[in-house]
Amino acid sequence: MTQSDAPGANPRGSHSSNTPSTTFRPPRVDTPAMHGLKRALTLGSALCAIAGAAHAQDAFFGTVLQEPGSAGLGFVMRTETSPYIDGDNRDDFLPLYLYEGERFFMRANEVGVRIWHDDTMGFEAFAERRLEGYPEDTAPASLEGMQIRNTGADLGARFYLQQGASRWDLSVRHDIANLSHGTEARAGYSYTIQGDRWRLQPVALLSWRSADLNDFYYGVSPTEARPDRAVYDAGAGFNTTLALYGEYRIFQHWSLIGGAYATQVSSEISDSPIVEDDLRWGVMAGAVYDFGNSQVRWDDDTSPTYIKVFYGRDSGEGCHLVRIMALQCVSLNDDDPTDIVGVHVGRPFVSRFNDWPLDIIGYVGVLRHLEKDRQRDSWQIDAYMKGFWYGFPWSHRVNTRVGFGIGVSYAERVPYTEVSAQARREENTSKLLNYLEPSIDVSVGDIFGSKRWHDLYFGFAVSHRSGIFGSSQLLGTVDGGSNYIYAYLEGAF
C-alpha cells in the first residue's frame, strides 16, 4: 500500500514505510469457559498493538482474531512526539480494518498470508504500510526546503512462537515502494496478563534499521544542506521500544483499547541535524467492534455468496457524499467524466443481527477506472463490511434494502477525478483511502412476481473514497477523495 504518485519523490532514492505492529495474542487456554472470552479480548489487544506499531514502535506482531472468518472494525486516536526539530506532537486517527481468515489476514496497516502455522508457532508473509515521516503539507520548519518524507510500503516475513502467556516474534521487511530501498529486522517479546474482562500486555522490541532506511528519513543530502543544517548520512543502527497495551471488554462485541510506548533511537538517528532527541513516546486510545462468526461462518460452504456487478460515473462538482445520500444532488460529471466498472463478492458474517432485520456482509472486489484518455486506465481493490436494513413495512411485498459499507480502498493509480480535484486545491493524494458505500436496492423477483429471482437485487450506490479529512497518516494525510454514482445487480448464490 503505497503513497500516491505525487510530486516530491525523495532524491535520496526511496522511503520505506513500516510501522511496527504490536498486536496482542492471549495465552492459550483451551477450556470451553475461556474460549469465547479469548476471542473477544484478542481483537482488542491486537488492535492496540497495531496502533502502536503504526508509529514505528512495536516489533511485536501478534495475532488479531483467533477464529477463522472473524472480522472487526474500529479506530484509535493517538498522540506521539515528533522525531524532527520543531515537529511538535503529532495527533493521528488510525482506522482499524481487521480480518482473520484461515489463510489470509488484514490488520489495519497490514495484509498478508499464513504460509504455515500450528497451535504454538507460525510463519507469515505480509505487505505493510510504513507510518513514518511527514507529508508535504504538515512538514515541520526543520524540514523546510527538503524533499517529502512520507508513508511507503514494505514486504516482509514473520516467524512467531507462542508458549503460554509468552510470545516471541522475529520479522524482516524491505521497502517495495522504491523510496528508501531500506530494510528493517525486528525481534520482539510480549507477555499477556488477563482478568475476566481486561487484558494487559507489556512488550519489548529490538529493531535493526539499515543505513538506507535511516538516511531516507533522517539524512540530509548536499542539495538540502544550509548553514543551520549540515549534510548528514545516517548509518544503520538499533532502536529499542518498551510498551504497555491494554483492553477492556465493555460488551460482548465491543472493547475499549489503549496503550503507551517509548522508543530509544540509535545515535545514527539522534545525531542528525533535523532530529530533536533520542527518545520518543506515544499514547493511544480507541474502540473496536468484533463481528465474530458466531452466527454465520464466512467460510461455511452452506453460506450464500453475493456477487455484485456495477457500472457508474463520477459525480458532478460539489456533489459530495452527504448531499447524494440526502438526494439533494445526484448529478454526474459532464465536463471531464470518467467511469468505473467492477465486481464485488461478499459472504455473510451475521444474519438478523440481534433479531433485527439487519444483515452484515463482508465484501472484497475489484473495479476498473475507465479514464477516457485523461490518464491510463487502472485497477482498484476494495474490502469492506456492509450492513443491510430491510425492515420496511412493504418488504413482505417488495423486499427493499438500505445498506452502508465501510472499509478500505487501494488504487493502482490515483483516479483522475481525485488527481484533478486535489490539484485545484493544491492538496496531496494517496492510493490508499477509506471506503464508504451507501446503497438502496429492491428485489427483482418481487417486482416481477418471480420467486426464482427473489434474491436478485437492482439498485444504486455510491463508491466513495476519502482521506477522513486529512486526519490519518495511514491514508496519506489526505483531505479529499472521490464519489462515483453507480447502478448494480447483486445476486445471492
CATH of the domain at 382: 2.40.160.20
H-only helix segments in 228-281: 267-270
Based on the domain organization, do 280 and 344 belong to the same domain?
A: no
Domain range spanning residue 464?
306-492
Is residue 10 scored above 70 in pLDDT?
A: no
Based on the domain organization, do 325 and 468 belong to the same domain?
A: yes
Based on the domain organization, do 331 and 470 belong to the same domain?
A: yes
Based on the domain organization, do 317 and 264 belong to the same domain?
A: no
pLDDT digit string (tens) for 420-452?
Answer: 999 998 888 999 999 999 999 999 999 999 989
pLDDT band at 54 (very low <50, low <70, confident <90, very high): very low
**Amino acid 398: pLDDT:** 96
20 within some domain:
no
- Give the total number of structural domains in the chain: 2
Phi and psi angles of residue 23, each rounded to the nearest 5 degrees, phi first: -125, 160
27 within some domain:
no
Inter-CA distances, 193 with 44, 65, 197, 253, 415, Å:
14, 17, 11, 20, 46
What SS3 class is residue 370?
Answer: strand
Based on the domain organization, do 337 and 376 belong to the same domain?
A: yes
Tell me the whole-structure pTM to 2 decimals: 0.80
Q: Cell numbers of 432, please?
A: 490508499
What SS3 class is residue 238?
Answer: strand
Instruction: Give the highest mean pLDDT range of 37-51, 321-335, 374-388.
Output: 374-388
Nearest in space to 92 (alpha carbons), one of 432, 472, 400: 472
295 within some domain:
no
9 within some domain:
no
301 within some domain:
no
Percent of the chain topping pLDDT 70: 83
Based on the domain organization, do 77 and 171 belong to the same domain?
A: yes
Following CA atoms 343, 349, 351, 357 in sequence, which dihedral angle do they give, to the nearest 10 degrees? -70
Is residue 38 scored above 60 in pLDDT?
A: no
Among 290, 324, 343, give the residue marking a domain's end: 290
Among 236, 261, 290, give the residue marking a domain's end: 290
pLDDT band at 67 (very low <50, low <70, confident <90, very high): low
Based on the domain organization, do 147 and 238 belong to the same domain?
A: yes
- Could you give the CA distance from residue 15 to residue 151 in angstroms, rounded to a whole number? 8
Among 224, 258, 290, give the residue marking a domain's end: 290
Q: Give the DSSP letter string of 324-351.
A: HHTTS--PBP-SS--EEEEEEEEEEEES
- Going by the DSSP 8-state scheme, the letter that residue 355 receives in this structure is G
Based on the domain organization, do 161 and 240 belong to the same domain?
A: yes
Nearest in space to 405 (alpha carbons), one of 421, 428, 423, 382: 382
**Amino acid 137: pLDDT:** 67
12 within some domain:
no
CATH number of the domain bearing residue 54 = 2.40.160.40
Do 121 and 163 meet the contact criterion of CB atoms below 8 Å apart?
Answer: no
Based on the domain organization, do 273 and 318 belong to the same domain?
A: no
pLDDT digit string (tens) for 139-176?
Answer: 788 898 898 888 889 999 999 998 988 999 999 999 99
10 within some domain:
no
Phi and psi angles of residue 261, each rounded to the nearest 5 degrees, phi first: -155, 155
Nearest in space to 490 (alpha carbons), one of 447, 437, 442, 448: 442
Based on the domain organization, do 269 and 414 belong to the same domain?
A: no
Based on the domain organization, do 279 and 378 belong to the same domain?
A: no
17 within some domain:
no
Based on the domain organization, do 266 and 122 belong to the same domain?
A: yes
Is residue 2 scored above 60 in pLDDT?
A: no
pLDDT digit string (tens) for 221-276?
Answer: 999 999 989 999 999 999 999 999 888 888 878 888 888 999 999 999 999 999 99
